[in-house]
């Protein structure tokens, strides 16, 4: 017991010194889990991707660090809190952050516990509560608004029903929508649980977004819209391969969540930003937002994503305003809060409400 107390004391000291890299740095020491590096800097070097990679290589990156975060209550809550801090520093006023609760749990997740963890007692339900707490403490400390979206994983259809149930349980505690993420080569026919979960989301008025047409073909976007009743499409670059579908979605004002840096580094899009699909979406005045995806692995943040489209795609301040207003309008906030968010933007942009459209 005294050893344990000494450890905890040392840990508190450490915490003060290494505030920023702490989330990655301290859990292995505390829990005796090995990491492929001795310092936070070394670990970052191992994880960060600088050039386009294959999907396999990309997925391997998660294995470098997820095993020390998953199952650790303190780490999970702290990461959620620090996430809000990071976003506030980037100038973000409202953020919807997404994650898979099952990937952070070590109990009630089926036979294969993620990241080769041994079974523990952290359930997906408690993970969501911890993230909610971290986010709301972050909101209070850094004075911005943060909501979350819970992800179903394409290769784990058995998790999806619980994901929608968690969305329902925590809809008043910060969870605003359901998402489907992962390997797009796995279609719905073989994994009908995803569809059942999305039907339940529609029935209960839970908002829906789906990763589609990122690496997968336009047919995945069609499936997301028609079968899963997605209100927004995550990425969606390959929608452009199906002209009819693209025209139809433009008419429907479908919202696309675009992620420039990620699209290059996952090899979803050409690494030549001057040939990027976003240029077409912009030209056609589509409904889209600019987002940052896997910021740890891609060492990115929102200002970097904005500067890429500014430097390489000729984006102007006017377009940034237009797309941010569309992002706010397409957010998954309740109407009243959406109005408040829009009002904040109109004010910041010096736009009179009547000329805002």
Ligand X SMILES: *[C@@H]1O[C@H](CO)[C@@H](O)[C@H](O)[C@H]1NC(C)=O
Positions annotated as catalytic residues are 214
Closest approach, Cβ 253 to ligand X, in A, equals 3
Q: Which window, 94-102, 109-117, 138-146, 214-222, contacts ligand X (CB under 6 A)?
A: 109-117
Q: Which window, 77-85, 196-204, 256-264, 325-333, contacts ligand X (CB under 6 A)?
A: 325-333
Q: Which window, 92-100, 108-116, 215-223, 348-356, contacts ligand X (CB under 6 A)?
A: 108-116
- Asked if 36 interacts with ligand X (CB under 6 A), we say no
Q: Does residue 151 contact residue 100 with C-beta atoms inside 8 Å?
A: yes
Q: Which of 54, 158, 185, 275 binds ligand X (CB under 6 A)?
A: 158
Q: Which of 29, 107, 329, 351 binds ligand X (CB under 6 A)?
A: 329
Q: Which residues of 121-153 are buried (b: 16+ CB within 10 A; e: fewer)?
A: ebbbbbbbbbbbbbbbebbeebebbbbbbbbbb
Q: What residues numbered 238-297 form the site for ligand X, per CB under 6 A?
A: 253, 255, 287
Q: Which residues of 58-80 are buried (b: 16+ CB within 10 A; e: fewer)?
A: beebbebbbbbbbbbeebbbbbb
User: Which of 13, 32, 122, 35 is CA-nearest to residue 74?
Assistant: 122
Of the pair 143, 285, the CB lying nearest ligand X is at 285
Q: Which of 39, 54, 116, 185 binds ligand X (CB under 6 A)?
A: 116
Rounded Cα distance, 86 and 89, in Å? 5
Of the pair 78, 207, the CB lying nearest ligand X is at 207
User: Which of 79, 169, 177, 86 is CA-nearest to residue 126?
Assistant: 169
Would you tell me how many other CB atoms lie within 10 Å of the CB of residue 3? 7
Closest approach, Cβ 345 to ligand X, in A, equals 13
Q: Which of 13, 111, 283, 336 binds ligand X (CB under 6 A)?
A: 111
Angle between helices 157-169 and 124-142 (to 10 degrees): 50
Closest approach, Cβ 155 to ligand X, in A, equals 9
The site that binds ligand X (CB under 6 A) totals a number of residues, namely: 10
Of the pair 153, 265, the CB lying nearest ligand X is at 153
Q: Does residue 254 contact residue 233 with C-beta atoms inside 8 Å?
A: yes
- Asked if 330 interacts with ligand X (CB under 6 A), we say yes
Phi, psi (deg, nearest 5) at residue 349:
-90, 0
- Tokens representing residue 333 in the block: 């906030």
Residues that bind ligand X (CB under 6 A): 110-111, 116, 158, 253, 255, 287, 326, 329-330
């Amino acid at each position: 017991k005294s050893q344990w107390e000494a450890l905890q004391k040392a840990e508190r000291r450490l915490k003060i010194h290494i505030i920023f890299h702490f989330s990655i740095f301290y859990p292995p020491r505390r829990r005796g889990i090995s990491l492929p590096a001795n310092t936070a800097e070394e670990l970052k070097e191992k994880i960060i991707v600088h050039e386009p990679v294959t999907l396999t290589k990309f997925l391997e990156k998660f294995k470098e660090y997820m095993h020390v975060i998953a199952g650790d209550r303190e780490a999970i809550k702290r990461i959620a809190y620090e996430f809000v801090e990071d976003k506030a520093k980037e100038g973000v006023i409202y953020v919807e952050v997404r994650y898979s609760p099952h990937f952070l749990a070590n109990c009630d997740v089926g036979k294969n516990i993620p990241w080769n963890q041994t079974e523990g007692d952290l359930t997906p339900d408690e993970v969501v509560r911890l993230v909610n707490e971290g986010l709301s403490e972050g909101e209070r400390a850094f004075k911005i608004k943060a909501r979350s979206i819970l992800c179903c994983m394409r290769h784990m259809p058995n998790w999806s029903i619980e994901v929608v149930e968690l969305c329902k349980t925590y809809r008043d505690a910060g969870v605003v929508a359901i998402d489907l993420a992962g390997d797009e080569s796995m279609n719905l026919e073989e994994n009908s649980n995803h569809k059942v979960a999305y039907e339940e989301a529609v029935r209960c008025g839970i908002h829906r977004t789906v990763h589609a047409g990122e690496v997968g073909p336009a047919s995945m976007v069609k499936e997301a819209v028609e079968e899963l009743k997605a209100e927004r499409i995550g990425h969606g670059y390959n929608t452009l391969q199906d002209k009819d579908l693209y025209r139809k979605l433009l008419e429907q004002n479908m919202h696309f969540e675009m992620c420039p840096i990620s699209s290059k580094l996952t090899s979803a899009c050409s690494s030549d930003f001057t040939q990027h699909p976003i240029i077409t979406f912009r030209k056609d005045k589509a409904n889209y937002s600019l987002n940052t995806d896997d910021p740890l692995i891609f060492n990115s943040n929102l200002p970097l994503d904005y500067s890429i489209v500014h430097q390489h795609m000729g984006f102007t301040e006017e377009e940034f305003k237009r797309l941010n207003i569309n992002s706010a309008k397409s957010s998954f906030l309740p109407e009243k809060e959406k109005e408040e968010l829009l009002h904040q933007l109109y004010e910041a942009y010096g736009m009179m409400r009547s000329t805002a459209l």
